Amino acid sequence: MKEVFASELLSSETLEHARKVARELYDEFDLDAALAPYSPYRHDGVRDERPVLHLEDVSGIPFVADIPGVEEYQHRARVRAETGDLFVAVTSPVEGYEAYCQQKLGLGEPDFFQAKPVSGPMTIAEACAYGHNLDRIAEWAAERGGVVIEPYMSIEAVWTLAEKLSERGVDASVTGPPPPALWIANDKGALAGVIDRVADGAWNVETHQETAPEAMVRRLIELAERHHMVGLKRTRCASAMGNIVFESAMIRRVEPIELDRQVRQFLTKTEWDEGEEVLVVEWAQTDESPSTQMWIPPADVGEVRLDGVYQQILSGPERVFVGSRPSTLPDEVNRQLAEASFVLATIFQEFGYVGRCSFDFIVVGDPEGDFDIRVTECNGRWGGTSTPMHLVDRLVNGARPPYIAQDYVHPELVGVGLPHILEAVGDELFDPETGEGRFVFYNCGPLAKKGKLDVISFGATPADAQEGVQRVLPELLGLS
C-alpha cells in the first residue's frame, strides 16, 4: 500500500478530539516536567547533513533474553544503515553478510564499529557511552559535523549517549520518543487507559488492572463467567512473553487455591514486583492478529503516517510473534485498523513521541461481515514487521510485492555458514537490479549457534510467497 497520512482518513473533528484528549492526558502525566531533561537532545525531525548512528539495542524489553539467539539481533541495525552512516554492535558480524548487503542487495557502504561490551552482549547503547567506545564514536561524529542517533528503541541509555557526546562537543540528537513518552506507548496498562479516554474503551477487550495476586485470582474467576478464555498480561513485555492464558472451564473446575498457585507461579517466573500492575483480561479467540506500521514526526513538522497494514504470524496459545505479511484482510477491516491507529498515534505525537511505532490488534468476529477490532499492544520501537518492511522498501522500486517475512529455524542449519546458504539458494536470491529471485536474508547472527535467521520470501501472490518459505527454501537448502 502507499503511505497514507492522518488527514486523508480522519475527519478534522476526529483529529481535534484526539488532540484534545492528548492535551488533557499530557497535563495529567505532567509531561512538561518529565520531558524537559531530554529537550536538548531531541531531533527536530528535519533532515540535515549529519550522518546517522544506528543502534539495535533490545535490552529495554523485559524477558527478551529468552528468545533464542537474541543477543545477535543487534546486527539488524545494518538493514537501516546507508553509505555515510555508522552502525555499532558488540558482537562480531556474520562472515559474508556485509559483502552480501553491499554487492547483492546494494545497501550502500556504511561504517561499522564493534564496541567492547560493558554489561553483557545486549546493552549496546550503554557500551557506546563508555570509555574507548565513546572516544571512537565521538571522534567519528566530530569529523562529520555531528550525529543523529536512530535507535531500535530510545531507552534511557540512548539519551545518555547523546548527552555524553554533546559533552564532548559533538552536535548529537536522537530520533525517537523520550522515555516518558516511550513508556506510555509501550505499557499495555497505559495504552488501555488512553483508549478508555479517547474511544470509551471501544478498542479494548475487557481489561482490569490489579496489583495483588488475590485480586487477580478473584478477577479471573469473575471474567471466566463471561468469557471462554481469560488471561494475565505483564504490562511492558513484548511478543506475548509476559502473558498466560487460562481456559475458563478449567478455572470453574479447580479450587481457587490451585488457581492462586498458578497465578503466583506466573508472577514469580515473570519477576513481578509486589504492587506492580498486572492486566486481567478477556482472551478473545481469533485467527486474525493484524498490525499497523506508523511513522510519527514531531508535531510541528508533519502528520502521522501509516506505512502499512500487516497480518502477523503468531505461534502457540499465548500468540508469540514469528513473522508477518502485508494484509490480505478486507478493505473495511484495514480501514478501521488504520483509523484507530491514526487516533492513537496522533495522541502519542502530542505527548512528544517521535519515530517508528506500531499497533497490534485482533479482529473478533467475521472479517468478511460483522467484526470488531481490539488493540492488544503498542510497540514503541522498530520491530519484527517494520524492519523487513523497511528493507523491502529499500530493495523494491514502486509498490511492495506480496511477501512474507519470518524467522527460519532448522536444527540442520546449526553451524552452517551464511556463504553456504547463499550458494545453495543461488539464482533464487533476490536481485534488486533485475527484480529476479525470491529470497532475502537478514538477522543472520543466530545462524551458527541456533540454526536461525530471518528470511523475506517474495511471490507472485501471498500463497506463492508462503510456498517459498514452506517448500522452496527447504528444498534448496537440502533440509529434511
Give the per-residue pLDDT at 428: 99
Residue 17 lies in a domain: no
Residue 303 lies in a domain: no
Domain end point (choices 282, 303, 320):
282
Residue 198 lies in a domain: no
Task: Tell whether 52 and 131 lie within a shared domain.
Answer: yes
Residue 130 lies in a domain: yes
Task: Tell whether 152 and 242 lie within a shared domain.
Answer: no
Task: Tell whether 254 and 149 lie within a shared domain.
Answer: no
SS3 state at 207? strand
Task: Tell whether 57 and 166 lie within a shared domain.
Answer: yes
Give the per-residue pLDDT at 71: 94
Phi and psi dihedrals of 62, rounded to 5?
-60, 140
Task: Tell whether 141 and 59 lie within a shared domain.
Answer: yes
Lookup result for grid cell 500463497? 463
Residue 325 lies in a domain: no
Indicate the pTM of the whole model: 0.95
For position 435, which CATH number holds?
Answer: 3.30.70
Would you state the torsion angle of the CA atoms of residues 156, 67, 344, 179, taken in this order, to the nearest 10 degrees? -10
Residue 369 lies in a domain: no
**Burial of 98 from C-beta contacts in 10 A (0-12 / 13-18 / 19+):** middle
Residue 231 lies in a domain: yes
Task: Tell whether 162 and 58 lie within a shared domain.
Answer: yes
SS3 state at 245? strand
Domain end point (choices 128, 155, 175):
175
Task: Tell whether 100 and 164 lie within a shared domain.
Answer: yes
How many domains would you assign to the chain?
3
Along the 480 residues of the chain, how does pLDDT read in single tens digits?
678 999 999 999 999 999 999 999 999 999 999 999 999 999 999 889 999 999 999 999 988 888 889 999 999 999 999 999 999 999 999 999 999 999 999 999 999 999 999 999 999 999 999 999 999 999 999 999 999 999 999 999 999 999 999 999 999 999 999 999 999 999 999 999 999 999 999 999 999 999 999 999 999 999 999 999 999 999 998 767 899 999 999 999 999 999 999 999 999 999 999 999 999 999 998 989 999 999 999 999 999 999 999 998 876 665 667 789 999 999 999 999 999 999 999 999 999 999 999 999 999 999 999 999 999 999 999 999 999 999 999 999 999 999 999 999 999 999 999 999 999 999 999 999 999 999 999 999 999 999 999 999 999 999 999 999 999 999 999 997
Domain end point (choices 175, 190, 225):
175
Give the per-residue pLDDT at 322: 75
Give the per-residue pLDDT at 1: 61
Q: CA-CA distance, 227 to 247, in Å (whole number)?
A: 9
Spell out the residues 6+ positions from residue 166 whose beta carbon is closer than 8 angstroms to its own. 40, 41, 172
Task: Tell whether 147 and 60 lie within a shared domain.
Answer: yes
What are the distances in angstroms from CA 422 to CA 104, 306, 418? 10, 34, 6
Range of the domain at 454: 401-480
Task: Tell whether 226 and 143 lie within a shared domain.
Answer: no
For position 253, which CATH number holds?
Answer: 3.30.1490.20
Residue 117 lies in a domain: yes
Q: CA-CA distance, 173 to 170, in Å (whole number)?
A: 9
Dump pLDDT digits (tens) for 158-198: 999 999 999 999 999 999 999 999 999 999 999 999 999 99
Q: What secondary structure does DSSP assign to 258-326, as a single string?
A: HHHHHHHHHHHHTTPPTT--EEEEE----S--EEEEEEE--TTT---EEEEEEEEEEETTTTEEEEEEE
